[in-house]
Structure formats: structure tokens, C-alpha cells
């Protein structure tokens, strides 16, 4: 990433370190950032140790009670589990699909430019809209059942069945964001010399193994970014779940985001909702931090 | 693979077929919106009789005009604030090599890890106390803060790779810092400004949870919330609902198709830093 690329400095040139007042340029951004993100986040973390309901001015310090409650609440634990299932499924499948499409589009085929635009289009569409679109497609009389009936598959209410709903949601998210992964892989692929890719794909013997040993190391930067983006996106997922199932049926698609929303804004348990948000923040922090370290080491090793 | 061989032909066919499958949901969206409510065909069939009535009804009954206006105001105002403030902040962050500058950069980057729900709830109270709740300005302020770390990340990365000679020339001419920034540096930042604008426009336009909370009960809505309310009201009248969905995603898709190369490059290069 560009982070570790230092600015080119000529000897004898001016040193902006000495320019007084340059730091003032930070103030507007810092003020908004502290007011909107940093301070309320700290405030939120502190409120998770109270019993505040969000309305009364009264709040009592109750220590770790909200967190203890969370780890004994089967619904909360289920929401953590569902969130992990969705995040990991998306991380694997979305990137696999994205990579295959990117490899297909990064070739001599004539339709490559048009295809790129089509594959990426779902990624810019409002998730609420794609959620409703798919709610219809996955319904009893929807296009998915109609399509599957050509192959003799009996109709299923994909979003209404506890065993299929969570997977149906994953399909929707993967459909929407596979193009996103594709674009990032593609940018990386275009920076690799053509001969390397051709050498790995054209020859008959074991194209998969050749891909693995020749192209994959070159793709390390985009793999890092794609894995991080997809798992963080998956952990925070709210919109699609909220409009398609609202966490149902029977809580089978309740994620941490929908669960915290319900607690904070529908059940009047603000502090508990915030405690869930804190756990989500820690989860995101641990996973993205850990991933960054591991993959960063891998990147250096492969170069 | 320098020439177009039969293998390339097979690949082309497979890729087109995949694209067709990917496009089916959008095809269903379009044909359903063009059908009359009593259309006899299945969801994959073309309309028996094409009608535009659904679009007129959705426009009037969904208050979509008002929502599109609000979304446009919120998106444009927050993106302008983001571009000005984050590019300004990136200047010292990229050029000053002292310890505090690095710490400030890390401070901003912490914001990339925090899930926004954490700040959303306490901030709700602050917005209420400031009487901003229920107005689009609560959203503008919120997005400006929320997207600041990512925008600063992009600008700083770009600036660090930019040679310092231009600024030196301006400094020798005796130009002040702000003049140097605005006249010399900002024009050079154009490629990354495009990326910052595109990524923020799409994120902000599509956001659902924030306006759902901050605008609820105010009569003001942004597009995603208007769709949510609209579908809640006309549930299972899919022809009408789909027409509403098309109207609501039209602006963003139009921008996408007009600027597709820039948008795709923006997503790719922006995320590579």
C-alpha cells in the first residue's frame, strides 16, 4: 500500500516540517472526526457499563452486567454465530467468484469491457433495493423457483425456512458484491506481466496448480484487501438482513447489527444494545488487525 | 493467448453466460415494473402488455421526488465537506514527518475499525440536544465525520507519493501555505479527488440505518428510507414496488453507466491505496 512509500525529497529542498501553521490544516477534519466518531464512541463504550434505557435522565453504573448478560443470552450468542457464518461464507465465496470472473475478464475475449460493467453494476445499487428485489426473487412464486422448476426442483420459500434463510441472504450479498472483489483482483492482475498469467493458464498440465504457484503470490496485495473488506462488511451486515427477513424466521438470521438495533431502538434497552456494538467493534478490530498482520507478513515473504 | 483462439471463444461463451445469469435479477426488476398487476405470465416472462402506469403511481405515492431531493442535498453537501477538509488535513499528515503527525494519522485510522453503530447511539442524543435530529444537516454532519478517516487515508497516500518540487517552487515565489495548497496542490490531487468523491457518493447515497434513525418521524426521508416505507405500505404489489425501486436506483446507476471507467478505476485504485 501507498502508506509506506515516503515522499521523494530533493537534497537542499525546503522542509515543510519547519513551516509554521501547517498543522492548522488538521483542525477542521479533526474537529468533525472527534465530535462525530471518537467522542461518541468512547461515550458509547462508557454507557455500556450502565443500565440506561435511552430516555430517562437516570442511569446507574452496573459494571460488567450487560456483558455478563450478553454471554448468557442465547439470542445474543446466536446472533454472534450467525454473523460469523455470514461473514466467513461471504469472505470465501464472494472472493472465489470475484477471482474467477476477474481471471475470465482479464483475457482476450471481445466482450471484456461490457462484462466488467455488468458484473460490477450490482455493487453500486442501494442494498435496501437489492434486498427487496431478492425478497421477490426468492419467494414462493419468484424467479428462483421458476428457474429451478426447469430442472425439476420443487419450490421452496427460501427466506421463510429456518434452514435456508441464512444461506439465501449470503447468496444475495455475494451476487451484489462479487463484482466488487472482481474489480480489485482485476486491478492487481493488470499489473502482472502477461507472460506470467499465460504461462499459468494456457498449458495443459495442471492449470490450477500452476495458478497456485505462479499467479497467486503476485495476487497477495489484492487478496489481503479483498479478504479484509469482505469480512468486515460481513460482520457489520444490516441492510439486506433487515429488509429481507428482519432477523427471522425464528431468529435464524439475526445478526449482531439487527440484534443491537432491536435492543437499542425497539426494546428500549439502550445500554445492552451498546454493549453488543462494543463486542462487534472488538470483533472487527481483532479480525482485521490479525488478518493485516498475517497477510502483511505473507506479502513480504512472497516478494 | 495473443490471438483469438478457439479456447478464447469457449471462455467468451462461458463468461457471457455467467453475465446473463448475473443480470437475471435486474431483468426481472425491469420487466416486472413494466407489467400490469394482472399479468398472466411468470416472473421470467416478458410483459403481456407493457405499461408505464406503475412508474407514475410509484412516483406519486412513494414521495420519491422529495426523497431524491433530500438524498441529493445530503450527498452533495457531505461530499464537498469531505473533499475540502480531508485534503487539507492530508497536507500536514503527508508532509510533516514529526512524531505527532504520525500519531495524528493513526488517530484518524482508528476510525476505520470502529463500527458506526457504536457512535450512532450516543450521537443520537447529542443531535437531539442540538435540535438537528430530523433534519438533513444531522446526516451531513454524521457522514462528514464517519467518512473522514477513509478520505484522509486516500488523500494522504496519494500526497506522500507526489513529488514535493511544486510546493518548493511555490514557496520560493513567496506564496502562503493556503495559497500553495489551493492553487498548486489541490489541482494535482484531481485523480484522487475523483476517487474520494465517487466512493463517498455511493456509500452516502445508499446508507439506510442512519437516516432510518435520525430522520424517523420527521417527514423528511432519503431514498433508502423512502423505499423502506413505500414497500412497507404496498407490500406484495410488486409491479408498483419494482417501479419504485427502479426510480430510486436510477440516479446512482446513471452516474455509474456514464462514468463507468472512472467509477471502476476509483474503486480499484482507491482501495489499493
Domain ranges of chain A: 76-302
A272 chain-B contacts, CB cut-off 8 A: none
Q: What is the pLDDT of residues A224-242, one digit of tens each?
A: 888 888 988 899 899 999 9
Please identify which residue in the block is written with the cell numbers 498440465. A205
Q: What CATH number matches the domain at B64-235+260-272, 1.10.3720.10, 3.40.1710.10, 1.10.3210.10, 3.40.630.30? A: 1.10.3720.10
CA dihedral B222→B225→B228→B230, nearest 10 degrees, is -40
Mean pLDDT of A16-35: 83
Cross-chain Cβ contact A22/B91 below 8 Å? yes
To the nearest 10 degrees (0 to 180), the angle between helices B238-258 and B260-272 is: 80
Q: How far is B241 from chain A (nearest CA, A)?
A: 9
Q: Which residue has the higher pLDDT, A16 or B39?
A: B39
Euclidean distance between CA atoms B19 and A112, whole angstroms: 11
Q: Which of B167, B164, B171 is nearest to B184 (CA)?
A: B167
Tell me, yes or no, if B239 comes closer than 8 A to chain A by beta carbon.
no
Q: Is the pLDDT of residue A39 over 80?
A: yes
Q: Which residue has the higher pLDDT, A79 or B173?
A: A79
Predicted confidence band at A204 (pLDDT cuts at 50, 70, 90)? low
A239 chain-B contacts, CB cut-off 8 A: 208-209, 224
Q: In a 3-state reduction of DSSP, which class is residue B23?
A: helix
Judge whether A129 and B227 are in contact, CB under 8 Å.
yes
ipTM reported for the complex, 2 dp: 0.87
Average pLDDT, chain A: 84
Predicted confidence band at A203 (pLDDT cuts at 50, 70, 90)? low
CATH topology for the A76-302 domain: MetI-like fold (1.10.3720)
- Residue A6 is nearest to which of B160, B171, B260, comparing CB atoms? B160
The CATH 1.10.3720.10 portion of chain B extends over 64-235+260-272
With a CB cutoff of 8 Å and minimum separation 6, the contacts of A170 are A86, A89, A90, A93
Euclidean distance between CA atoms A163 and A156, whole angstroms: 11
Contact map slice: A 191-250 vs B, CB within 8 A? 198, 201-202, 221-222, 225, 229, 235-236, 238-239, 242-243
Per-residue pLDDT of chain B (273 residues; tens, 9 = 90+): 457 788 788 888 899 999 999 999 999 999 988 988 888 877 888 888 888 888 888 888 888 888 999 999 999 999 999 999 999 999 999 888 888 888 999 899 888 877 777 888 788 888 888 888 888 999 999 999 999 998 999 899 888 888 888 777 777 777 788 888 888 889 988 888 988 998 899 899 999 989 988 888 777 889 999 888 888 888 778 888 999 999 989 999 998 888 888 888 877 765 543
pLDDT of residue B81: 97
Cross-chain Cβ contact B96/A187 below 8 Å? no
pLDDT of residue A13: 43
Strands (E), chain A: none
Q: Measured between alpha carbons, how far is residue B35 from residues A45, B40, B50 in Å?
A: 51, 10, 6
Using alpha carbons only, give the angle B9, B15, B17 rounded to the nearest 5 degrees: 105
Amino acid at each position: 500500500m501507498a502508506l509506506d512509500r515516503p515522499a521523494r525529497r530533493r537534497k537542499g529542498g525546503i522542509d515543510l516540517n519547519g513551516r509554521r501553521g501547517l498543522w492548522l490544516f488538521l483542525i477542521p477534519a479533526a474537529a468533525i472526526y472527534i465530535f462525530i466518531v471518537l467522542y461518541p464512541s468512547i461515550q458509547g463504550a462508557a454507557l455500556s457499563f450502565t443500565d440506561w434505557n435511552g430516555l430517562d435522565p437516570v442511569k446507574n453504573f452496573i459494571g460488567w452486567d450487560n456483558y455478563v448478560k450478553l454471554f448468557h443470552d442465547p439470542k445474543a450468542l446466536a446472533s454472534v454465530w450467525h454473523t460469523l457464518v455470514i461473514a466467513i461464507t461471504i469472505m470465501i465465496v464472494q472472493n472465489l467468484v470475484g477471482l474467477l470472473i476477474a481471471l475470465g475478464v482479464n483475457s482476450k475475449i471481445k466482450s471484456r469491457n461490457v462484462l466488467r460493467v455488468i458484473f460490477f453494476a450490482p455493487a453500486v445499487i442501494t442494498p435496501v433495493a437489492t434486498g427487496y428485489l431478492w425478497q421477490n426473487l426468492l419467494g414462493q412464486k419468484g424467479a428462483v423457483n421458476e428457474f429451478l422448476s426447469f430442472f425439476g426442483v420443487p419450490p421452496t420459500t427460501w427466506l421463510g425456512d429456518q434452514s435456508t434463510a441464512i444461506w439465501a441472504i449470503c447468496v444475495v450479498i455475494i451476487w451484489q458484491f462479487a463484482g466488487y472483489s472482481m474489480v480489485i483482483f482485476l486491478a492487481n492482475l493488470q499489473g502482472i506481466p502477461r507472460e506470467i498469467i499465460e504461462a499459468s493458464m494456457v498449458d495443459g498440465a495442471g492449470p490450477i496448480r500452476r495458478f497456485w504457484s505462479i499467479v497467486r503470490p503476485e495476487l497477495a496485495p489484492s487478496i489481503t484487501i479483498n479478504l479484509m473488506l469482505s469480512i468486515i462488511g460481513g460482520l457489520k451486515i444490516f441492510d439486506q438482513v433487515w429488509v429481507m427477513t428482519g432477523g427471522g424466521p425464528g431468529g435464524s438470521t439475526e445478526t449482531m447489527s439487527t440484534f443491537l438495533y432491536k435492543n437499542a431502538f425497539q426494546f428500549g434497552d439502550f445500554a445492552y444494545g451498546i454493549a453488543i456494538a462494543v463486542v462487534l467493534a472488538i470483533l472487527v478490530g481483532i479480525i482485521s488487525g490479525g488478518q493485516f498482520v498475517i497477510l502483511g507478513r505473507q506479502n513480504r515473504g512472497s516478494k | 493467448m495473443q490471438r483469438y483462439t478457439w479456447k478464447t471463444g469457449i471462455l467468451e461463451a462461458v463468461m457471457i453466460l455467467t453475465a446473463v445469469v448475473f443480470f437475471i435479477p435486474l431483468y426481472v426488476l425491469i420487466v416486472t415494473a413494466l407489467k400490469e398487476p394482472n399479468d398472466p405470465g411468470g416472473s421470467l416472462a416478458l410483459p403481456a402488455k407493457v405499461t408505464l402506469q406503475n412508474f407514475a403511481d410509484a412516483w406519486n405515492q412513494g414521495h420519491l421526488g422529495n426523497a431524491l431531493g433530500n438524498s441529493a442535498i445530503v450527498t452533495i453537501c457531505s461530499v464537498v465537506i469531505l473533499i475540502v477538509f480531508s485534503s487539507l488535513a492530508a497536507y500536514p499528515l503527508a508532509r510533516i514527518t514529526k512524531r505527532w503527525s504520525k500519531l495524528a494519522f493513526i488517530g484518524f485510522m482508528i476510525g476505520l475499525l470502529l463500527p458506526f453503530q457504536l457512535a450512532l447511539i450516543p450521537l443520537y442524543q447529542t443531535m437531539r440536544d442540538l435540535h438537528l435530529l430530523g433534519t438533513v444537516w444531522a446526516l451531513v454532519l454524521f457522514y462528514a465525520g464517519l467518512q473522514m478517516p477513509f478520505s484522509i487515508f486516500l488523500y494522504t497516500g496519494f500526497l506522500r507519493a507526489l513529488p514535493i518540487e511544486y510546493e518548493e517552487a511555490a514557496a520560493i515565489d513567496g506564496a502562503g501555505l493556503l495559497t500553495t495548497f489551493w492553487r498548486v496542490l489541490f489541482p494535482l490531487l484531481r485523480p484522487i479527488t475523483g476517487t474520494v468523491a465517487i466512493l463517498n457518493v455511493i456509500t452516502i447515497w445508499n446508507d439506510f440505518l442512519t437516516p432510518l434513525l435520525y430522520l424517523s418521524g420527521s417527514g423528511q426521508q432519503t431514498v433508502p428510507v423512502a423505499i423502506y416505507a413505500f414497500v412497507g405500505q404496498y407490500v406484495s404489489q410488486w409491479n408498483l414496488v419494482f417501479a419504485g425501486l427502479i426510480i430510486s436506483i436510477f440516479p446512482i446507476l446513471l452516474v455509474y453507466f456514464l462514468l463507468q471507467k472512472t467509477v471502476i478505476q476509483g474503486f480499484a485504485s482507491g482501495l489499493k491505496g
